[in-house]
Chains A and B, each alone.
Chain A
Amino acid sequence: DAKTTQPPSMDCAEGRAANLPCNHSTISGNEYVYWYRQIHSQGPQYIIHGLKNNETNEMASLIITEDRKSSTLILPHATLRDTAVYYCIVRPPIAGGTSYGKLTFGQGTILTVHP
């Protein structure tokens, strides 16, 4: 699986947009970019994923560069409850029963949202 690089920590003011970058320069053409977050000692939570197009859901937006070597997770209006470790994970496509489903968590970004 392609390696990802994220800044170890970021700060954001409550109500402002939080933009979390991720580099994945060795990503393969069929690999997806996933974002999960983990709020202190809770189970990781799925946020969003994408292949090449930008994606948006009720939680966040994902912007993937045209060359797919980097991406940015955007939390449009950060709240104190968004304080968490955010993980960017690159993963091959899933085919039921294959070994590709596991998530390989690297060093994520500790996002601290302050009042």
Chain B
Amino acid sequence: AAGVIQSPRHLIKEKRETATLKCYPIPRHDTVYWYQQGPGQDPQFLISFYEKMQSDKGSIPDRFSAQQFSDYHSELNMSSLELGDSALYFCASSLEGYGTHEQYFGPGTRLTVT
């Protein structure tokens, strides 16, 4: 079965640079979530989109922005990168218009800021 695809899997950037993370949800899923997991921490919700509209926002820095495109893929844009942005970034998708509840996570993008 198709799963959530994230690219790239690994990304190394320097401070003050910009990074773009991509997420391709499971086909026909209508909702995308982004989570950040710092070293030794639990995943933290950043932002979500339902049917291409932002549906919720968590502790996402103003330096980060995200959107969901017409083909339902989503991109997380991160600017003015800081050392503290080094983390695993997970994307998850679900079919919430039909209330199926489960979120399916991708393998994550490991971002290292040097």
Contact = CB atoms under 8 A, between A and B. Distances in A.
| Chain A bound to chain B | yes
B106 A104 contact: no
Contacts of B53: 97
Interface string A72-115: 00000000000000010000011111110111111110000000
B107 interface: yes
B85 interface: no
B48 to A, nearest CB: 6
A46 B42 contact: no
- B-side interface size class: 20 to 34
A: contact size bracket: 20 to 34
A45 interface: yes
B30 to A, nearest CB: 7
Contact of B50 (A32, A41, A96): A96
A105 B43 CA distance: 6
Interface of B: 4, 30-31, 33, 35, 42-45, 48, 50-51, 53, 55-56, 58, 88, 90, 92, 94, 96-99, 101-108, 110
